[in-house]
Amino acid sequence: MIQSKEKNDRDITFGKPLFRSPFYDFFAAQETEGNWYNWNGYKSPTIVSDEELEYFSIRSTCSVFDITPLNKYRIVGSQAVEFLNKLTVRDVAKQNVATVKYTLWCDQDGFVIDDGTLFRISDNDFRLCSQEKHLPWLIDTSHGFDVEIIDESKHVCGISLQGPTSASILRLLGVNGIDNLKPFHLFQTKISNIPIMISRTGFTGDLGYEIFLKNNVANKFIERVWNAGTNHGITAIGYNALNMARIEAGFIVANIDFISSDHAIRANRCRRPDDLGLGWIVDLNKGFFNGKRAIINSKLEDSEVFKIYALEIDGKEPAEGSIIYYNKKDEVGTVTSAIWSPMTKKSIALAQLKLGSSKSKIDNLWVEIYSLKELQYHKLMKKVSIVKPPFVNLSRRSACPPAKC
Amino acid sequence: MKSYDVIVIGAGHNGLIVASKLASSGRKVLLIEAGETYGGMARSEVLFEGFQAPELASNAFGISKDVVQDLGLSKYEILFNEDGLKTVGLNTENENVIFGSSFGKSIEGIGKEEFKRWKELREKFFNQSHLFQRLASQIPVGSNHKTFGSKVNLFLTAAKLRLQGREQFQELLRMITMCIADLVEEELETPSLKGLISFDSTLGIKLGPRSPTSYLGLLYKLSQIKASYQEKSLSIHGGVTSFINALFKSAEENGVDFVFKGKVSSIIISDSVATGVKLENGMEYSAKTIVSSISPVNTFLDLVGAQNLETDLTRRIRALRYSGNTSKLNIILEEIPKLNNSQNLDENYRYVYAPSLASVESNFNSLKYNELPSDPNFEIYFNKISSESSLNGAVMASICIQNTPYSLKGDWKNSKEVLMKKVISTIQKLAPDFSKGILFKSLLLPHETEKKYCVAGGHWHHSELQIDSLYSLRPTFDVSDYSTPIDGLFICGAGTHPGGNLFGLSGLNAAKKILRESIK
């Protein structure tokens, strides 16, 4: 009774009736901050109890993050590969069964609609996970293909276990084959008779796994994981901690680091894969796909466009939302994501910059940071250097088998 | 595999025009047609005891003078209506209104005052139709086509409209998106005259007289009359066939090769370049230029295939409104029937049954809900048969029934007979001996037209001729200049600008575009 009363109290702060993931009760029992946000219509924790501790659990023990709110589309049918080859920019025919690929898809102008991960479960069975909702686009694209698109977002839930001890926890749970699971590979197994799909993927740049399962077994499953992890520092985390880790890993997020062409109202906000630093994903040698012609044509033009860069900034102030200048006076772009990185001990950022084709501007970039200190802004002009992402490159991320710790 | 410079798909009038025009420039052209003969939806079919006539197209308001001149068709025999076509507005209650040629230059059966008001209104209509008339022979200015010449023409069209004077221009802006019902009710009183004008504004398009923009349907029709060859319509008696035959002869003389009974199953595409076509019987032909005169829906979704097209484009093509809404009833009678007032029905007239504006609107309401109209509106042409056979002296009545749903609530099994009966009983009221002399009757519904004539939805215009699908929005903005995202593939059917009846400018404009492209 007491528990349910608490829940009601909490809900008053929310105006919207939000969905609750099957793991909601688990996170609600842990959280102390009352800091929730609306992720894709789900009530999701921003912070569970302590942002820093949660971040360090990703880097030194094991974190548990609820990825249920992700959009999950099942793509099944004899022409699933052909369909995905039209939809996405990679050559799906080259993707092996039981692997996961990071991919993206474009509109007819070659502008990126969204990025996501594509799980090849079997020859003609795929799962596509994305940040934004795309069911109408997928269904319209599937016209003319023998393929069925199923939105399983509400029927399948997911948990992301990220951190150095994540493999050990899965070993304790009796997951055979975890030692042989290479990065971006997946397999299906059972934990205490609960069928799961496990893949060595994540959004942290660390050793980690994503696990998908049916909603009805979620509570039983998370209890097993939690109990197995008690001696391995397992910690429930919210979005803020994950966000720090993903910036360190140099991952971009749709509608934070770039505007999805689906959402953009202003035509010049749309970005092509090259502009996002993801040109290497695009396979121009495969057959027709959405946006191919526009992408090829854009390579011929020499127009000045905004591109995403990874930046290191002098000093220790995070530069969130700051403007970047050339020669301290000409605006060249804006920071889209920034933190002070605990791993590199530096202020790092992702930014959209328009630098033109000449490299001359690169050595003379500055960021204007307004740092609020006890009701007074300190206006700082800090030197910026462009680096190659990721900011943090951990060998354990790809070590196979993962270390026992 | 046989190789040509150009392959044209579909031997309708637009296909014939493109083929003839391109062949006359020295190109080796192959025209592939699914049916047994040329003519598309205007082709002749054997209807009854060896008697042949166009099953669908009984008459056309006009064929473009540009087409006649450009292809030199005047050297062939094309049967025009020398005196112009008069229309009788049939009425079961009041006196019939006789609408003079050239869309009511003179009218019998209305008062002097009423005629004075009509005259002014008619003049206004014709003035405003200038907008379409001028643009019809131009390749639409759009995202792909922005040549200086076409922009100048667009500007001159606007300027010319503006130069008609401030008042006239304001009047155009006021009227252009209005419904035809408001416009005729502002000025006219005679119910059957209002019914007749509403009928003509909305025939073949899915709008009622009270739907906004239905006035555009009339403007479009008038612009065709003005842009047609000497402002004449084709003769009721064999005019359509003579025009189609002239086009065929012209194509033949220019050296076009023909393949009949060859249904194209797909356009061969490699890396977004069209290289040939494949027929259902397995034959393949190759060419650098492929021109499709069939519906854009069939062209893109069936022949090119969604796997070769951007999702954005297939989305727009699938969103086209292309279900047909007009059916055709052909009846062969022993002799021409007499009207109530013992006057003979005249075979040189067009008869329209649309007794009032309310009747046309209520017909459209039924269509909206996929139901049969309770009192269908229709037009009739009588065509005397002169042949060697026993049919000599008989008469064919071509009846075009407005507002027939493509997908009927319920099924067509019994409804087809019901619809026929409704129309015949209406005629019966006006001409009591009509049904006695019926030798043969057949009704072609939109979904049957779709199958028989290989046109998606069975729509005469391939897709709706409405404000959101005209000029550079026809069929959609990114393929409005007759070219497509597939290199070497062009479209030229009625689904492209300007479309419409047997106008023929879609084909001619597309041919000009192709000639210009290949010079580059």
- In the sheet that holds B349-353, the strands lie side by side as B107-108, B97-99, B86-90, B349-353, B378-384, B395-402, B326-333, B438-444
**Residue range B290-313: average pLDDT?**
96
Asked if pLDDT for residue B231 goes beyond 80, the answer is no
Query: Do residues A147 and A155 touch, judged by C-beta distance below 8 A?
Result: no
Q: Is B311 in Cβ contact with A108 (below 8 Å)?
A: yes
Q: In A61-189, where does DSSP find H-type helix?
A: 80-87, 135-141, 166-172
- What's the pLDDT score for residue B342? 64
**Using 50, 70 and 90 to split pLDDT, how confident is the model at A1?**
very low
Closest CA to A316 of A246, A371, A260, A245: A371
Asked if pLDDT for residue A276 goes beyond 50, the answer is yes
| Lowest mean pLDDT across A115-129, A215-229, B105-119 | B105-119
d(Cα B345, Cα B90) in Å, to the nearest integer? 11
pLDDT tens string B4-24: 999 999 999 999 999 999 999
Q: Across all residues in chain B, what is the average pLDDT?
A: 91
Q: Which residues of B touch A140 (CB under 8 A)?
A: 311, 314-315, 318
**Using 50, 70 and 90 to split pLDDT, how confident is the model at A330?**
very high
The 8-class DSSP code of residue B140 comes to P
Q: Is B305 in Cβ contact with A288 (below 8 Å)?
A: no
**Residue range B36-48: average pLDDT?**
92
Asked if pLDDT for residue B158 goes beyond 90, the answer is no
**Residue range A241-245: average pLDDT?**
97
**Residue range B304-308: average pLDDT?**
94
d(Cα B210, Cα A85) in Å, to the nearest integer? 47
Asked if pLDDT for residue A390 goes beyond 60, the answer is yes
Q: Is B307 in Cβ contact with A144 (below 8 Å)?
A: yes
For chain B, say whether A146 makes contact (Cβ under 8 Å).
no
The most distant pair of C-alpha atoms in chain B lies apart, rounded to whole Å, by: 70
3-state secondary structure B343-397: CECCCCEEEEECCCHHHHHHHHHHHHCCCCCCCCCEEEEEEECCCCCCCCCCEEE
For chain B, say whether A107 makes contact (Cβ under 8 Å).
yes
Higher-confidence residue: B62 or A19? A19
- What's the pLDDT score for residue B228? 83
Query: Do residues B369 and B460 touch, judged by C-beta distance below 8 A?
Result: no
- What's the pLDDT score for residue B389? 76
For chain B, say whether A289 makes contact (Cβ under 8 Å).
no
For chain A, say whether B271 makes contact (Cβ under 8 Å).
yes
- What's the pLDDT score for residue A15? 63
Token pair in block for residue B499: 């479309």
A135-169 burial, b for 16+ CB within 10 Å, e for fewer?
A: eebbebbbbbbebebeeebeebbbbbbbbbbbbbb
Is the peptide bond between A69 and the residue preceding it cis, with omega within 30 degrees of 0?
A: no
d(Cα A115, Cα A88) in Å, to the nearest integer? 9
For chain A, say whether B312 makes contact (Cβ under 8 Å).
yes
**Residue range B94-102: average pLDDT?**
83
Query: Do residues B398 and B356 touch, judged by C-beta distance below 8 A?
Result: no
pLDDT tens string A80-135: 999 999 999 999 999 999 999 999 999 999 999 999 999 999 999 999 999 999 99
**Residue range B486-494: average pLDDT?**
95
Q: Chains A and B: how many Cβ contacts under 8 Å?
A: 44
d(Cα B401, Cα B427) in Å, to the nearest integer? 12
Whole-model pTM: value is: 0.91
- What's the pLDDT score for residue B519? 60
């049939």: which residue's tokens? B90
3-state secondary structure B143-194: CCCCCHHHHHHHHHHHHHHHHCCHHHHHHHHHHCCCCHHHHHHHHCCCHHHH
Closest CA to B497 of B209, B232, B220: B220
Higher-confidence residue: B80 or B404? B404
Asked if pLDDT for residue B520 goes beyond 60, the answer is no
Asked if pLDDT for residue B28 goes beyond 80, the answer is yes
Q: Which residues of A touch B307 (CB under 8 A)?
A: 82, 86, 144-145, 288
**Using 50, 70 and 90 to split pLDDT, how confident is the model at B85?**
confident
Q: Per-residue DSSP letters for B35-91?
A: SSSS-GGG-EEEEETTEEEESS----S--BHHHHHHTTGGGS---B-TT--EEEEE-
Number of Cβ atoms within 10 Å of the Cβ of A381:
12
- What's the pLDDT score for residue A5? 42
**Residue range B116-145: average pLDDT?**
87
- What's the pLDDT score for residue B154? 86
Taking CA atoms, A124 is separated from A73, A95, A143, in Å, by: 14, 12, 17
A354-374 burial, b for 16+ CB within 10 Å, e for fewer?
A: ebeeeeebeeebbbebebeee
Asked if pLDDT for residue B49 goes beyond 90, the answer is no
Asked if pLDDT for residue A3 goes beyond 80, the answer is no
| Lowest mean pLDDT across A106-120, A198-212, B117-131 | B117-131
For chain B, say whether A260 makes contact (Cβ under 8 Å).
no
CB nearest A108 (choices: B272, B308, B312):
B312
For chain A, say whether B314 makes contact (Cβ under 8 Å).
yes
- What's the pLDDT score for residue A4? 45
Amino acid at A386: I
d(Cα A352, Cα A337) in Å, to the nearest integer? 10
Q: Is A108 in Cβ contact with B313 (below 8 Å)?
A: yes
Q: B286: which strand partners? A: B3, B276
Asked if pLDDT for residue B179 goes beyond 50, the answer is yes
Query: Do residues A350 and A250 touch, judged by C-beta distance below 8 A?
Result: yes
Domains and CATH numbers, chain B: 2-43+63-73+236-321+460-517 (3.50.50.60), 113-232 (no CATH)
Indicate which of A146, A288, A293 best probes the interface with B, i.e. most B CBs within 10 Å of its own CB: A288
Taking CA atoms, B331 is separated from B338, B381, B382, B398, B412, in Å, by: 16, 10, 10, 7, 20
The 8-class DSSP code of residue B495 comes to T
**Using 50, 70 and 90 to split pLDDT, how confident is the model at A14?**
low
**Using 50, 70 and 90 to split pLDDT, how confident is the model at B198?**
very high
Percentage of residues in chain A with pLDDT exceeding 70? 96
Query: Do residues B407 and B419 touch, judged by C-beta distance below 8 A?
Result: no
Asked if pLDDT for residue A303 goes beyond 80, the answer is no
d(Cα A199, Cα A178) in Å, to the nearest integer? 10
| Lowest mean pLDDT across A31-35, A83-87, B40-44, B59-63 | B59-63
**Residue range A259-282: average pLDDT?**
93
d(Cα A239, Cα A43) in Å, to the nearest integer? 12
The dihedral built from the CA positions of residue B307, B310, B312 and B317, taken in this order, carries a sign that is negative
The dihedral built from the CA positions of residue A258, A263, A268 and A274, taken in this order, carries a sign that is positive
d(Cα B13, Cα B246) in Å, to the nearest integer? 10
| Lowest mean pLDDT across A17-21, A216-220, B102-106, B190-194 | B102-106
Do β-strands B273-279 and B264-270 pair in parallel, antiparallel, or remain unpaired?
antiparallel
Higher-confidence residue: B105 or A74? A74
- What's the pLDDT score for residue B114? 93
Asked if pLDDT for residue B452 goes beyond 90, the answer is yes
Rg over CA atoms, chain B: 22
ipTM entry = 0.88
Q: Is A108 in Cβ contact with B310 (below 8 Å)?
A: yes
Query: Do residues B224 and B101 touch, judged by C-beta distance below 8 A?
Result: no
- Scanning B481-510 for CB atoms below 8 A from A yields 485
Q: Is B311 in Cβ contact with A290 (below 8 Å)?
A: yes
Q: Is B314 in Cβ contact with A288 (below 8 Å)?
A: no
d(Cα A128, Cα A310) in Å, to the nearest integer? 27
For chain B, say whether A144 makes contact (Cβ under 8 Å).
yes
């082709």: which residue's tokens? B43
Q: Across all residues in chain A, what is the average pLDDT?
A: 93
Is the peptide bond between A195 and the residue preceding it cis, with omega within 30 degrees of 0?
A: no
